[in-house]
């Protein structure tokens, strides 16, 4: 490339280091159950589930521009179908995964309908769906109303084996879902997604398939959150509809994404980590903990709407897991910096 | 059966009361306030607190609570919604959702998990009834509630069409920039609209407390009822909200007839059916659905 033209790059030196770091971290996490205590393994499993929830809600709201306060519907359904499948005789671990697929499949026809609602209407319309689904699940005799039921078939496994297996399943699910989202955002769909996020009408006018792209995010989020619900069921065994269909889950997702940085890939992960730490330290304080979460969400939405990561990214030009393109002017362009990643020659839409 | 229909229609008055503030705010500021239900519950708790601590009848208590609600509405718009609305259409949803969580849990912190009711403080009104022809018994409170809804909706309609302030609010909701050109202070009009909306929420909260019990987390169902009634009523005028409330209440009544747990299911299903029909016939999406109510040709 000539020195006169601006350089369009996908990765930065920091991002190449962080790519290696990600691999190392996942490898370390994979062997961690051999060294951690039982309680710590359970907590780490919860963290993985939080990361999934944050990443999926962020995919929908941060990238698709679809704020839903009814995502607990997929969380609850993920757990419910796992119960149903296991009751029908399927292996409990397999039923977790099949359940998530069913949730994703259900979300597709739902999207035909719900995606025609806009902004607040979509947000609260999803809430109605969640409330209705909760009531309908209660009617199932197997669930016994609010009394709930348990994933009994999991009890045939030794408690240690069970804990480690769920840990690895959660880690694998988190890694796979994040990789899927990352791949999606880096590909051509990613450019469409960001174009929609920035200006839906403008995106449509240059030929972006707005509805199809949103539908993809909606179904992915439903699948991921369904997986999270099924995994949560596996860790806690008991299924009480009230707990799983609680709007609290969406409140957690919103908190994680708002604090971490809405619309940034790294932000959702950071938010989940912070939420995990806050929960570990303050979760015991009960109602004040919830008040604190709500107040923090309000303050972030008012004063730091880009969240922690969004603000850091803006200030320091930091990209650890770059999903967009960036343009550097020739003055500070570094030639000869051979990037291992493919350099796109045409910048369609840049992420500022 | 005709008895249930009458009761359903009267219950629709309550839903219209809780819905009119939500659709009013949406029509003026394009914001769906997710703390709407929680604020109604807050109003109910305020009245309960006044009644149980100082023996102030809830009807007298409204004289204190409604100005407070108006002030809350004004502050809400000035300090929260105005700021977050600048960040796009999505931020106000998140802000008001966070606010709802704060309000719900503060109420829980202050008043505990016990269910409360204003019924003990309104004397015999909570169970008195009139006998109508055909041996239909209608509660006096239900009739008062329905009448309050009609008066409130009619008053709001008159205010918006006949007064200068009302016209400035409508002008702002149509086009804030042009309204500004002709000397309408859009910030003031919005804050005023929020204050009015919160007054209606305060009244709805009072009736919520009188006709039933409430607890700190009762805000969520109220928000959903308000939203459903507003959307079902949809197009037309503020009176659409009343029809929406009645349809919702009747659907719940029929749902309860079919299955013991069918009350809420009936309402949600009716809402989705209306939504589905409207989406498939209009083809334009729901854009205009909620903001139509006050758009009445002068």
CA dihedral A222, A225, A231, A236 (to 10 degrees): -120
CA distance B260 to B245: 21
B84: alpha, beta or left? (left if phi > 0; alpha if psi -120 to 50)? alpha
Residues B77 and B190 sit within 8 Å (Cβ to Cβ): yes
Q: Which residues of B touch A132 (CB under 8 A)?
A: 265, 268-269, 272
pLDDT score, position A1: 43
pLDDT score, position B180: 80
Q: How large is the greatest C-alpha to C-alpha distance in chain A, in angstroms?
A: 71
* Contacts A–B by Cβ distance under 8 A: 124
Q: What are the b/e assignments for B169-204, b being 16+ CB within 10 Å?
A: bbbbbeebeebeeeebebebbbbbbbbbbbbbbbbb
Question: Quick check: helix, strand or coil at residue A110?
Answer: helix
pLDDT score, position A159: 81
* Chain-chain contact of B268 with A297 (C-beta, under 8 angstroms): no
pLDDT band at B237 (very low <50, low <70, confident <90, very high): low
The ipTM, to two decimals, is 0.83
Q: How large is the greatest C-alpha to C-alpha distance in chain B, in angstroms?
A: 60
Residues of A with CB under 8 A from a CB of B: 61, 65, 67, 69, 113, 116-121, 123-125, 127-129, 131-132, 135-136, 138-139, 247, 251, 254, 258, 287-288, 290-291, 293-298, 301-302, 305
Average pLDDT over residues B3-25: 89
First to last CA, chain B: 41
Rg of the Cα atoms in chain A: 21
pLDDT score, position A341: 40
State chain B's mean pLDDT as an integer: 85
Average pLDDT over residues B136-164: 88
Nearest chain A CA: its distance from B276 CA (Å)? 7
Interface test with B, best of A64, A70, A113, A121 (most B CBs within 10 A): A121
* Chain-chain contact of B26 with A120 (C-beta, under 8 angstroms): yes
B117 forms beta bridges with B213
Nearest chain A CA: its distance from B104 CA (Å)? 8
* Chain-chain contact of A291 with B105 (C-beta, under 8 angstroms): yes
Average pLDDT over residues B6-18: 91
Q: Which residues of A touch B89 (CB under 8 A)?
A: 119-120
pLDDT score, position A224: 95
Nearest chain B CA: its distance from A260 CA (Å)? 14
* Chain-chain contact of A116 with B286 (C-beta, under 8 angstroms): yes
For the residues of A144-181, what is the DSSP string, one character each? TGGG-EE-GGGGGS-HHHHHHHHHHHHHHHHHHHHHHH
Nearest chain B CA: its distance from A118 CA (Å)? 7
Q: Which residues of B touch A290 (CB under 8 A)?
A: 101, 105
pLDDT band at B38 (very low <50, low <70, confident <90, very high): very high
CA distance B298 to B295: 9
Name the residue of chain B whose CA is nearest to A262's CA: B91
* Chain-chain contact of A302 with B80 (C-beta, under 8 angstroms): yes
Residues 6+ apart with CB under 8 A from B213: B115, B116, B117
Question: Quick check: helix, strand or coil at residue B88?
Answer: coil
Q: Which residues of A touch B93 (CB under 8 A)?
A: 67, 69, 119-120, 123
Between A275-284, A338-347, B51-60, B180-189, the lowest mean confidence (pLDDT) is in: A338-347
Alpha helices in chain A (DSSP H): 13-31, 38-58, 72-87, 92-114, 119-139, 159-186, 188-198, 200-205, 210-236, 241-244, 248-260, 265-282, 287-303, 307-316
Interface test with A, best of B90, B112, B216, B278 (most A CBs within 10 A): B90
Residues 6+ apart with CB under 8 A from A350: A8, A324, A325, A326, A327
* Chain-chain contact of A69 with B290 (C-beta, under 8 angstroms): no
Residue A120: which of B35, B177, B113 has the closest Cα? B35
CA distance A244 to A259: 23
Residues B271 and B232 sit within 8 Å (Cβ to Cβ): yes
pLDDT score, position A324: 67
Average pLDDT over residues B194-219: 92
Give me the domains of chain A, ranges plus CATH numbers: 7-332 (1.10.3470)
pLDDT score, position A347: 36
Q: Who among B109, B272, B290 is closest to A287 (CB)? A: B109
Question: Quick check: helix, strand or coil at residue A352?
Answer: coil
Nearest chain A CA: its distance from B173 CA (Å)? 17
CA distance A118 to A128: 15
* Chain-chain contact of B105 with A287 (C-beta, under 8 angstroms): yes
Residue B190: which of B172, B212, B163, B209 has the closest Cα? B172
Q: Which residues of B touch A123 (CB under 8 A)?
A: 32, 34, 93, 97
* Chain-chain contact of A69 with B97 (C-beta, under 8 angstroms): yes
pLDDT > 70? residue B291: no
Residues of chain A with pLDDT under 70: 1-11, 317-319, 321-352
Write the pLDDT tens digit of every residue in B252-272. Answer: 999 988 888 888 899 999 998
Question: Quick check: helix, strand or coil at residue A215?
Answer: helix
Residues 6+ apart with CB under 8 A from B218: B37, B41, B44, B208
> DSSP code of B120?
G
Dihedral sign for Cα atoms in the order A58, A59, A62, A67: negative
* Chain-chain contact of B105 with A294 (C-beta, under 8 angstroms): yes
For A105, how many CA atoms within 13 A lie in the half-sphere containing its CB?
7
CA distance B61 to B78: 26
Interface test with B, best of A119, A257, A288 (most B CBs within 10 A): A119
Write the pLDDT tens digit of every residue in B103-118. Answer: 999 999 999 888 998 8
Residues A67 and B94 sit within 8 Å (Cβ to Cβ): yes
For B238, how many CA atoms within 13 A lie in the half-sphere containing its CB?
26
* Chain-chain contact of B98 with A254 (C-beta, under 8 angstroms): yes
Q: How many CB atoms lie within 10 A of CB B166?
A: 20
Q: Which residues of A touch B219 (CB under 8 A)?
A: none
pLDDT score, position A326: 67
Interface test with B, best of A128, A141, A296 (most B CBs within 10 A): A128
């Amino acid at each position: 490339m000539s020195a006169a033209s601006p350089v369009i790059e996908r990765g930065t030196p920091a991002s190449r280091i962080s790519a290696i770091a990600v691999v190392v971290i996942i490898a370390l996490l994979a062997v961690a159950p051999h060294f951690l205590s039982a309680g710590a393994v359970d907590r780490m499993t919860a963290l993985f589930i939080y990361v999934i929830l944050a990443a999926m809600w962020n995919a929908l709201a941060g990238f698709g521009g679809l704020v839903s306060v009814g995502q607990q519907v997929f969380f609850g359904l993920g757990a419910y179908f796992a119960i149903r499948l296991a009751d029908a005789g399927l292996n409990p671990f397999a039923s977790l995964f099949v359940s998530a697929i069913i949730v994703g499949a259900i979300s597709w026809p739902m999207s035909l309908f719900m995606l025609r609602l806009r902004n607040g209407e979509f947000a609260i319309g999803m809430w109605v769906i969640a409330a209705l689904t909760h009531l309908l699940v209660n009617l199932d005799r197997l669930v016994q109303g609010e009394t709930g039921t348990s994933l009994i078939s999991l009890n045939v496994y030794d408690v240690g084996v069970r804990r480690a297996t769920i840990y690895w399943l959660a880690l694998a699910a988190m890694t796979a879902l994040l990789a899927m989202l990352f791949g999606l955002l880096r590909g051509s769909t990613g450019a469409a997604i960001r174009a929609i996020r920035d200006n839906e009408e403008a995106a449509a006018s240059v030929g972006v398939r707005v509805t199809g792209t949103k539908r993809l995010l909606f179904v992915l989020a439903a699948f991921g959150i369904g997986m999270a619900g099924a995994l949560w069921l596996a860790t806690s065994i008991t299924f009480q509809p009230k707990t799983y269909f609680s709007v609290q889950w969406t409140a957690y997702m919103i908190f994680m994404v708002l604090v971490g940085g809405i619309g940034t890939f790294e932000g959702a992960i950071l938010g989940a980590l912070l939420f995990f730490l806050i929960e570990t330290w303050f979760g015991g304080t009960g109602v004040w903990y919830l008040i604190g979460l709500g107040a923090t969400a309000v303050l972030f939405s008012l004063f730091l709407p880009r969240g922690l990561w969004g603000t850091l990214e803006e200030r320091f030009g930091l990209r650890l897991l770059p999903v967009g393109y960036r343009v550097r002017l020739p003055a500070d362009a570094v030639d000869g910096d051979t990037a291992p990643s493919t350099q796109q020659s045409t910048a369609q839409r840049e992420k500022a | 059966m005709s008895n249930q229909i009458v009761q359903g229609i009267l219950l629709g008055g309550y839903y219209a009361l809780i819905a009119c503030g939500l659709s009013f705010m949406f029509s003026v500021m394009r914001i769906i306030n997710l703390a709407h239900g929680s604020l109604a519950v807050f109003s109910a708790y305020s009245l309960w607190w006044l009644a149980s601590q100082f023996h102030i009848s809830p009807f007298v208590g409204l004289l204190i609570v409604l100005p407070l609600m108006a002030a809350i509405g004004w502050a809400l718009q000035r300090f929260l919604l105005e700021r977050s609305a600048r960040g796009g259409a999505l931020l106000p949803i998140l802000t008001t959702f966070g606010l709802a969580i704060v309000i719900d849990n503060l109420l829980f912190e202050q008043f505990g998990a016990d269910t409360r009711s204003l019924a003990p403080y309104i004397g015999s009104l909570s169970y008195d009834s009139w006998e109508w022809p055909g041996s239909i018994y209608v509660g006096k409170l239900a009739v008062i509630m329905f009448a309050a809804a009609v008066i409130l909706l009619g008053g709001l309609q008159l205010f918006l069409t006949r007064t200068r302030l009302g016209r400035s609010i409508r002008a702002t909701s149509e086009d804030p920039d042009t309204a500004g050109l002709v000397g309408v202070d859009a910030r003031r009009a919005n804050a005023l609209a929020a204050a009015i909306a919160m007054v209606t929420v305060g009244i709805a909260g009072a009736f919520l407390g009188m006709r039933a019990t409430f607890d700190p987390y009762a805000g969520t169902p109220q928000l959903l009822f308000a939203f459903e009634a507003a959307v079902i009523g949809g197009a037309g005028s503020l009176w659409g909200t009343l029809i929406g409330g009645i349809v919702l209440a009747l659907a719940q009544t029929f749902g309860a007839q079919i299955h013991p747990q069918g009350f809420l299911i009936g309402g949600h299903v009716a809402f989705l059916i209306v939504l589905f029909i409207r989406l498939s016939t209009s083809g334009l999406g729901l854009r205009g659905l909620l903001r139509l109510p006050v758009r009445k040709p002068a």
